[in-house]
Amino acid sequence: PHAEWANRLMFAHDNAVENLVLFAPLVLILNAIDYSSKWTVLACVVYFWARVAHLIVYALGIPVFRTIAFTVGFAAQAVLA
Q: What is the pLDDT of residue 38?
A: 96
Helix, strand or coil, per DSSP, at residue 31: helix
Q: What is the pLDDT of residue 2?
A: 84
Q: What is the dihedral of CA 66, 69, 72, 77, to 10 degrees?
A: -90
The model's pTM is 0.90
Residues 6+ apart with CB under 8 A from 26: 77, 80, 81
What are the average pLDDT values for consecutive 10-residue runs of the chain, which has 81 residues?
90 94 96 96 97 95 94 97 94
Domain boundaries, the chain: 4-80
Q: What is the pLDDT of residue 1?
A: 77
Q: Are the C-beta atoms of 55 and 8 separated by less than 8 Å?
A: no
Q: What is the pLDDT of residue 60?
A: 93
